[in-house]
Chain A
């Protein structure tokens, strides 16, 4: 579904060139959820923006559904770290923003918007303004907005990272539920190992400066997954530990000791 082939990216920084990504090759299969994990500055968001068509790679190619990505596509939607709701629009109108810009069928999408809001537990809040909602509710509305165009691909850039831990887990579980209902290919950027293990079919681990693909870890734990006590706690712990080792620099001693 999504294919990155020998993708590199160089930013013109203030002190010369910055190699954000170096020779990344990654394929995400249809309906798969791949999480990108890595420390800050490893180019996770850059990769996502390339798939979204918001940024062009310096070299290499990115394709979605077999077509090279030139500009943003209607069947690819993007969810940001912050809810990015328009403060003057009601929740419902915010969800319908893409419908207006992309000129989709309003009546049908209106019904769909109500369905989606119901699905994420925002029924009854359609007419509220964003500032009347909590952070978690805002991000739920934002999720509805990114689903309204029935995307084939959903790109999520640390969408839950600004929320408290419990809300975050709740939303992760909701996302799993939505995936069961609707087929979607998802790339999910996070710096949380927990989140990566909870959601992913595969975890792509990136190393920073320049961003390189360090390893791809398969997560074959049955769903739905939760963080609490469950039958697969051992497996969750095992994968988490592996990711942890990959992300931490080899000798831990010097940095942690104060």
Chain B
């Protein structure tokens, strides 16, 4: 009886979890549709939802290819940022000297508007995927380093003292306590980074590309094919959401303890 009720409430919760965002989206699309009809807005200014869907279906194959290009750039740049960022954060967290040396530099580099670097990247690396990956990396690197370093430095004193009382080696302290303790904070950095990653890829594609959703948006802007641009933007949104919730799901699986502790 209670088991049945519990599973019933679980279904209800699922419905709320998934149903509410869908409802929000549906409401927004309806408003948008209504606006285009009521104010009779031209298609090349703001296309109605059905125009966008039509544009999408008309060039589905092409759009999927471009989505794949952008997705690949995003994921590759993000992966490089993780691989470089986490060890950098470890270095910062383990040595005061390195922290003092690297930190201001990092802040300065981060303060440079990335869009300003994009044309230079094209000059250096051409129109291929590399400058996009580099741009994604540049945007992702900073939040990953900051969050990871913060996490590594937030080990509670009692835990450090506990392992010290076993005369543990530095490596043992790191792998048994400090790193696992930092993981929820690392995830915060990864989630911030993944939302920036897609933006990075699109910025780079705007400046100089022959493929990718950013490229599609620039091209359709030039030919006033606004419905296609909207379709591309919607796909960018989908990429972001999928990547973000993918990380969220990963966190729930590998850090089941984290939610209760923060």
Contacts and interface: CB of A to CB of B under 8 A. Distances in A.
A84 B162 contact: yes
Given A82-B158, A88-B257, A97 B176 contact: yes
Interface stretch (B73-81, B122-130, B136-144, B164-172): B164-172
A82 B160 CA distance: 13
Given A84-B158, A84-B159, A101 B176 contact: yes
B166 A98 contact: yes
B189 to A, nearest CB: 18
A101 B158 contact: no
Given A82-B158, A87-B261, A77 B165 contact: yes
A92 interface: no
- Which one of B158, B164, B165 has the greatest number of beta carbons of chain A within 10 Å? B165
Interface residues of B, number: 22
B159 A86 contact: yes
A74 B261 CA distance: 30
Contacts of B163: 97, 101
A188 interface: no
Interface in B181-207: 181, 183
A54 B257 contact: no
A86 B180 contact: yes
Interface footprint category on A: 20 to 34
Contact of B257 (A71, A72, A87, A97): A87
Interface string A197-227: 0000000000000000000000000000000
A72 B164 contact: yes
Contacts of B183: 88
A100 B166 CA distance: 10
Interface in A87-114: 87-88, 97-98, 100-102
Nearest to B169: A101
Contact of B167 (A71, A81, A97): A71
A82 B159 CA distance: 10
- Which one of B156, B172, B181, B257 has the greatest number of beta carbons of chain A within 10 Å? B257
- Which one of A53, A77, A86, A102 has the greatest number of beta carbons of chain B within 10 Å? A86
A129 interface: yes
Contact of A131 (B165, B172, B181, B257): B257
Interface in B48-99: none
B165 A78 contact: yes
Contacts of B158: 80-82, 84
A73 B172 CA distance: 17
A62 interface: no
Contact of A100 (B156, B162, B167, B176): B176
Interface in A116-140: 129-131
Interface in B229-262: 255-257, 260-261
A74 B176 CA distance: 18
A101 B175 CA distance: 11
B177 interface: yes
B167 A86 contact: no
A52 B162 CA distance: 11
B161 interface: yes
B128 to A, nearest CB: 42
Contact of B161 (A74, A77, A80, A100): A80
A101 B167 CA distance: 8
A171 to B, nearest CB: 18
B165 A72 contact: yes
A102 B166 contact: yes
A129 B255 CA distance: 12
Contacts of B255: 88
Nearest to B167: A72
A167 B27 CA distance: 54
Contacts of B256: 129
Contacts of B180: 86, 88
A-B interface, 10 closest residue pairs, ranked by CB to CB distance from nearest: A131-B260, A84-B158, A72-B167, A78-B165, A101-B166, A88-B257, A84-B162, A101-B168, A87-B257, A87-B261
13 contacts: A52-B165, A72-B167, A74-B166, A74-B167, A86-B181, A87-B181, A87-B260, A87-B261, A88-B180, A97-B163, A101-B176, A130-B257, A131-B257
Given A86-B159, A87-B260, A87-B261, 18 more contacts: A53-B165, A54-B161, A54-B165, A72-B166, A72-B167, A78-B162, A80-B162, A84-B162, A86-B176, A86-B180, A87-B181, A88-B255, A101-B163, A101-B172, A102-B166, A129-B257, A129-B260, A131-B261
